[in-house]
Amino acid sequence: MTWETVIGLEIHAELSTASKIFCACPTAFGGDPNTHVCPVCAGLPGALPKLNRAVPDLAVRLGLSLGCAIERHSRFDRKNYFYPDLPKAYQISQLYAPICSDGRLEINSGGTGKSIGIREIHIEEDAGKLVHDSAGGATLMDFNRCGVPLVEIVTQPDFRSGHEVIAFLEALREILLYLRVSDCKMQEGSLRADVNLSVRQPGGALGVRTEMKNLNSFRAIGRAIDAETARQISILDAGGRVAQETRRWDDDRGESYGMRSKENAQDYRYFPEPDLLPVDIDDAWLASVENNLPELASKKRARYVREYGLAAQEAAALTSHVNLSTLFEDIAGRSGEPSESAHLITGEIMRLLNQTNMQPEALSVDVDKLSALIGLVSGGRINRSAYKETVEAVFMSDVDPRAYIAEKGLMMQSDGAIIADAVRDTIGENPGAAAEYRAGKEKAFGYLMGQAMKRLGGSGDPEKVRDALLSALRDE
């Protein structure tokens, strides 16, 4: 029998706000356990939540970019359940009136375009973290993450393969990053996707689904989808029934196992949150979010080509990660030299990222220093090789470029007399190569040029050295 896979996603993204959703504690990742905690996020009796205004701002920003309808009167609801990482024994979420609904996102999977429906985006608070201390056999609780703001993005069951899911997550991540809604660090749990999956006869009624959790990378998601599809098909082919349940993916073992039978909304005894007012979004608020929407990658690509005259391929490389495009725009603005700045990013910076195995997320280089270097090379004060060397020193150890250039003697040598001396000595020491060149062997020129540059400590003005060498070889 042939089977069709049907998948819907529930994606949690931690919002890039400085403070938590209902208190002033910081959202920063890490920190000693239980140091980012106050009576509100620790759930002490009598403590009252107060909504961080930046949270609906970011949720609406995302909703607008995904073509959602914005709920002008959204409300919060209590989702009741006990778990040790949830000190209040309820999570503040949105069930009845989520802030955004009915959006879509176009994806491209293997050359085929497809539109994925977004059922809703709702706001909620994150839970804490349990640390299982295997040595002591104890479980420790860290509440630092309690109350970090989240959006949950729920899609329609529109996916038919793991490839479509990955294409969607990549497109969504790019939007979240460019909108500055979330930093999307999967290793830190800022972006988490749960996979709902069922199989059916093509075109038939939806089958019974399972929900898979604990998927920590795109790769794990792809593997989990393949394994779960195969598991359900083998149950159905053997005449069995798939149990509706929540399963936990174990990426090391490459298999999932059941955690609990799937609960329904009724099980959570949702009710309207009595401690918070509804969020009323008026025209002015909506307009202010709309007018301040950050530019998405596709718009940037078109603008780089139009405004700066960059090649489409270079514009695509610059927008391959939001940090690269930000660095490019900052340096281009500071140096006033967009095409030189573009070459710097797509050339040296990408090469150095590669060489040091660094992800663009971790990129941090001094914009002023790099802009100053661009000024020096395009003003003819240092040559290309000195420029590259100094860029690398700034990237690796944040050196002061002017001090570095002075210390290494990299300022361009364009003094005619000094260059002429170096050229004469070079020819004197390499009579063989000089004779070969004069006999018509072009290759010998490159060798002599290299020797003359070496004699000048690599800092000779290449044009001038070249001219001096040519005329000296002609004269003799």
Residues that bind ligand ADP in the complex, under the rule CB under 6 A: 6-10, 154-157, 196-198, 206-207, 209, 265
The span from the CA of 269 to the CA of 405, in Å, is: 68
Find which of ligand ADP, Zn ion, none residue 6 binds, CB within 5 to 8 Å per kind. ligand ADP
Q: How far is the CB of 105 from ligand ADP (least distance, A)?
A: 13
DSSP symbol at 263:
P
Nearer to ligand ADP, 23 or 193 (CB): 193
Which partner from the list Zn ion, ligand ADP, none does 41 bind, CB cut-off 5 to 8 Å by kind? Zn ion
Subset of residues 95 to 154 that bind Zn ion, contact rule: CB under 5 A: none
Alpha-carbon gap, residue 269 to 109, rounded angstroms: 39
**How many residues interact with Zn ion (rule CB under 5 A)?**
5
For ligand ADP, give the closer residue by CB, 152 or 337: 152
Provide the b/e sequence for 120-158 (b: ≥16 CB within 10 Å): bbbbbbbbbeeeeeeeeeeeeebbbbbbbbbbbbbbebb
CA–CA distance, 64 with 281 (Å, rounded to integer): 13
Q: How far is the CB of 37 from Zn ion (least distance, A)?
A: 6
CB of 180 to ligand ADP, least distance (A): 25
Residue 155 contacts which entry, ligand ADP, Zn ion, none (Cβ below 5-8 A, type-dependent): ligand ADP
Q: How many CB atoms lie within 10 A of CB 199?
A: 24
Nearest residue to 172 (alpha-carbon basis) of 16, 360, 363, 11: 11
Q: How far is the CB of 212 from ligand ADP (least distance, A)?
A: 11
Which of residues 228 and 348 has its CB atom nearest to ligand ADP in the complex?
A: 228
Smallest gap, in angstroms, from Cβ of residue 119 to ligand ADP? 6
* C-beta of 43 vs 157, nearer to ligand ADP: 157
DSSP string, 420-465: HHHHHHHHHH-HHHHHHHHTT-THHHHHHHHHHHHHTTT-B-HHHH
Q: How far is the CB of 28 from Zn ion (least distance, A)?
A: 13
Residue 25 within binding range of Zn ion, rule CB under 5 A: yes
Question: Given the rule CB under 5 A, which of 21-29, 104-112, 230-238, 313-321 is the region that contacts Zn ion?
Answer: 21-29
Beta carbon of residue 197, minimum distance to ligand ADP (angstroms, whole number): 6
With CB under 5 to 8 Å by kind, the binding choice for 25 among ligand ADP, Zn ion, none is: Zn ion
- Determine if 38 is a binding residue for Zn ion (CB under 5 A): yes
Which residue of the chain is nearest ligand ADP when measured via CB? 8
With tokens 């795109």, the residue in question is: 218
Neighbours of 69 (CB within 10 A): 12
Calpha distance 30→251 (Å, rounded): 24
Q: Are 60 and 282 a contacting pair, CB within 8 Å? A: no
Count the alpha carbons within 13 Å of 450 in the hemisphere toward its beta carbon: 6
Q: Which is nearer to Zn ion, 25 or 153 (CB)?
A: 25
- Distance (Å, rounded) from C-alpha 76 to C-alpha 86? 17
User: With respect to ligand ADP, which residue has the nearer C-beta, 234 or 355?
Assistant: 234
**Contact set with Zn ion (CB under 5 A):** 23, 25, 38, 40-41
